Amino acid sequence: MKPTLFVLAAGMGSRYGGLKQLDGLGPHGETIMDYSIYDAIHAGFGKIVFVIRKDFEQDFRDKILSKYEGHIPVEVVFQSINDLPEGYTCPADRTKPWGTNHAVLMGKNAIKEPFAVINADDFYGRNAFEVIAKELSRPRDRKGDYCMVGFRVGNTMTENGSVARGVCSTKDGNLASVVERTAISYDKDGRIVFTDENGVEQTLEPTTPVSMNLWGFTPDYFDYSEREFRKFLDKDLNTPKSEFFIPLAIDTLIKSGEATVKVLDTDSKWFGVTYAADRPGVVEKFAQLHADGTYPEKLF
């Protein structure tokens, strides 16, 4: 059974402005997502499921989905802040979506096979899709047998500001913990640094694995997620900016012993448009990847 690719495309790019998922960055107006879909097809994924917001469905179908028809089966599911488990009602003043793991829950009825989760607006590189497709294709005999691609932090930086990354620690090749660090940047000496919760500056080795939200799950993850989401709502339903992130649920499942998450290494270089100033560099990188034959002249 071929794995499914689940694309989180419901977010607006708040720091960058506009629907960056629809921004044409390749030589023929390709979006970052087009490259991910192309790489996923070539890595052996069998279906794509997108989670989007209902209000840009038409735009999305016209501009995005029409391209993939005939290349791979595609489905769309929707994320809404009102989509909560039975017994919970969204507060009237809530405007913020409930976060990445809430988005994942929206795939519950569409996905019945092992699946990888990606952000729509991150470029992960072909090798990353190959390593996760291979891992998701092996037989499993227990629940909670998951994986993630650990990018080397030095391959995920921007010169134009700070980035947020889930910094991972591993034990015996499995994820031991993932801590969201919100402001990782280069210092004046070119070292990669962040300030920890005690206000102390910490340095990261360039090879430190970080999560770029490229996770591999089996469908039992939906049940665990729903359980953890209920716990989250019991605590944070009325906290306007609270979000239910994937690392939050994963950390709980690792600590309870219900899941193991194998950390897969990749030499892929991530890039994305975190800031508007990143855009010209990304356009240049895509032009180069076409010029050197990594990608054909037209993807679809």
pLDDT digits (tens, 9 = 90+) for 186-204: 999 999 999 998 999 999 9
70 within domain boundaries:
yes
Is the pLDDT confidence value at 16 over 60?
no
Residue 78 phi, psi (nearest 5): -120, 145
- Of 8-17, 46-55, 70-79, 275-284, minimum mean pLDDT range: 8-17
97 within domain boundaries:
yes
Is the pLDDT confidence value at 17 over 50?
no
Report pTM.
0.92
Is the pLDDT confidence value at 135 over 50?
yes
Residue (of 268, 287, 282, 206) closest to 16 by Cα position: 282
pLDDT category of residue 22 using cuts at 50, 70 and 90: low
Domain that holds residue 138: 4-145+211-257+269-291
**What is the percent of the chain with per-residue pLDDT over 90, rounded to a whole number?**
77
CATH of residue 120: 3.90.550.10
Whole-number pLDDT of residue 155? 95
70-100 confidence digits (pLDDT tens) = 999 999 999 999 999 999 999 999 988 999 9
170 within domain boundaries:
no
Is the pLDDT confidence value at 170 over 50?
yes
Is the pLDDT confidence value at 236 over 50?
yes
242 within domain boundaries:
yes
Say how far apart CA 130 and CA 141 lie, in whole Å: 22
Is the pLDDT confidence value at 34 over 60?
yes
Say how far apart CA 91 and CA 249 lie, in whole Å: 22
Is the pLDDT confidence value at 28 over 60?
yes
Q: How confident is the prediction for the chain on average, in pLDDT?
A: 92
19 within domain boundaries:
yes
Whole-number pLDDT of residue 21? 54
46 within domain boundaries:
yes
Angle at 255 between CA 254 and CA 256, to 5 degrees: 90
144-163 confidence digits (pLDDT tens) = 999 999 999 999 998 888 99
Provide the domain count of the chain.
1
265-290 confidence digits (pLDDT tens) = 999 999 888 888 989 999 999 999 99
Is the pLDDT confidence value at 113 over 80?
yes
168 within domain boundaries:
no
189 within domain boundaries:
no
Whole-number pLDDT of residue 121? 85
Is the pLDDT confidence value at 242 over 90?
yes
pLDDT category of residue 12 using cuts at 50, 70 and 90: very low
Is the pLDDT confidence value at 41 over 50?
yes
